[in-house]
Structure 1
Amino acid sequence: MDFLSQVTTFQLIANILSGIFALYVYNKLPLIQLKLDKQVQHLVFGSSAALFILWMFRTSIYDGLSVHFLWLATIPLLLGFRWSLFSASLVLLSLTALGEESFRMLGVNFLLGVLLPISVTYALYSVTFYKLPRNLISYIFVCGFIAGGLSIGLKMFAMGGYYYLEGIHTWHVVSENYLVLLKYLLMPEAMFNTMTLVILALHKPKWVYTFYNKFDVNKGK
């Protein structure tokens, strides 16, 4: 009862929406593939382990306003949209259970910190696949570099807006102690995702679910 009394209206709505969306995605997941395909197992749980370690390393200059690298421009390209949500959600649930994230913020963190970056990346991938020349350069630059920078930028601005609109922090505190860190994260995040994709696309293309070599590159031309 005390827990419910501390949950704001926005947090409650976010938790409900997250639960509904999570159930929908879960019902659409080919779980038999996870059971029978060892490569899928290794990629899904390996990605979760890598994300867990990466998200554990965080920093802040103001209490409650921590930041960390996302790597969520790479995971959707390795696993596809649904498996990437599954993998990132496992990490978010684990960090929440360990006390690194608040249970009250679970829905907000999912919508703004997981669903938003992954959706942006997959939207850019779709545009690249259907509208741009299908080659490694456009794939790496748009889906890795641009998506990497855009995903962390949108996530931080969305979270900053949430903190301000909920009255948790003033806009001055948000901009001077949270959004100011974006200039230190934007380029490294973009380059981190870019280098990951370059290495995997060149050396382990079968691991990259969305890599064009899987598809008939002449289709639709």
Structure 2
Amino acid sequence: MNFPDGLLPASWAIGAHFLLAPVLLGLIQATPWHSLRQRPDLLGAFILFLGGVVLLWTARAGLPQNPGLNLHLLGATILTLAFGWPLALVGMLTALLAVTGLGLSGWHAFSINALVMVVVPVTVAAVIHAVVRRKLPHHPFIYIFVSAFLGGALTLAGLAAAASTVLLASGAYGFDELVREYLRYIPLLMFPEAFVSGGLLAILVVYKPEWVVTFDDESYIQGK
């Protein structure tokens, strides 16, 4: 989902600019830029996955009479687990810039789209992984099926909840219309999101674990 220009009140778009600004400032300091500079293979993988996210966001379904209520896969869990939350934010913001440049999203609504489509999903994915890592045994199957598979589904649900809250609170849509045109389809989208997230992370931890910063052999494999 993303919001086109004019769907939300102008005050909401302006307020989102002020909320996004400190996130961007903190992101500049938190992002491990040196890891991309020092590892060309990781940079290439990051660009490849970034292109995949752009493709996921452009392959969307929706009706013209329901602006903003479009459906597409997200990819936030993959980026968050593979590259860490700072680079995931950078990648998803870049993807949002790309789809906005393609005319699939509004420039005036960029900040509120960034908060809902980028900050919320990456935060949900990062928190889920942190809780799983702290509370559950460190095992590859738990990483793949809970952090990646279940995490992907819950991340998409978090996006839907955040977007629906914004649309309801702003008066853009009523609850019955949201349920009929958007929310009832989210469970159908959660499984493919989970399948793509879990499947890709499973392939990566087997063949390219060095590309997954949240997975280390010593913690998850040795002694298992």
* TM-score, with length taken from structure 1: 0.89
Task: Name the counterpart of 1:108.
Answer: 112
What RMSD in Å do the two structures reach over aligned CA positions? Answer: 2.1
1:19 shift after superposition? 2.1
Alignment check: 8 A CA contact 1:153 1:186 kept: yes
Task: Name the counterpart of 1:138.
Answer: 142
Larger RCO (alpha carbons 8 Å, 6+ apart)? 2
Task: Name the counterpart of 2:54.
Answer: 52
Alignment check: 8 A CA contact 2:121 2:159 kept: yes
Matches within 5 A, 1:91-170: 91-170=95-174
Structure 2 counterpart of 1:203, one-letter code: Y
In structure 2, relative to structure 1, the CA distance for the partners of 1:135 and 1:87 (3 Å cut) is same
Alignment check: 8 A CA contact 1:135 1:212 kept: no
Q: Tell me which of 74, 80, 84 is aligned to 2:84.
A: 80
List, as ranges, runs of 4+ consecutive aligned residues in structure 1 with deviation greater than 6 Å. Answer: none
Task: Name the counterpart of 2:12.
Answer: 10
Give distance in 1, aligned partners of 2:189 and 2:221: 34
Alignment check: 8 A CA contact 1:134 1:212 kept: no
Give distance in 2, aligned partners of 1:42 and 1:169: 41
Task: Name the counterpart of 2:66.
Answer: 63
Give distance in 2, aligned partners of 1:124 and 1:30: 21
Task: Name the counterpart of 2:94.
Answer: 90
Give distance in 1, aligned partners of 2:43 and 2:198: 24
Alignment check: 8 A CA contact 1:79 1:209 kept: yes
Task: Name the counterpart of 1:171.
Answer: 175
Give distance in 2, aligned partners of 1:212 and 1:138: 13
Gaps of 5+ in 1: none
Give distance in 1, aligned partners of 2:173 and 2:142: 40
In structure 2, relative to structure 1, the CA distance for the partners of 1:89 and 1:45 (3 Å cut) is same
Structure 2 counterpart of 1:105, one-letter code: A
Task: Name the counterpart of 1:42.
Answer: 44
Task: Give per-residue Cα distances to partners, 1:144-186, cap 9 Å, x unaligned.
Answer: 1211111111101211121121111222211100111112101
Q: How many residues align?
A: 215
* TM-score, with length taken from structure 2: 0.88
Q: Tell me which of 173, 180, 186 is aligned to 2:184.
A: 180
Give distance in 1, aligned partners of 2:131 and 2:111: 28
1:40 shift after superposition? 2.6
| 3-state secondary structure, aligned to 1:74 | helix
1:31 shift after superposition? 2.4
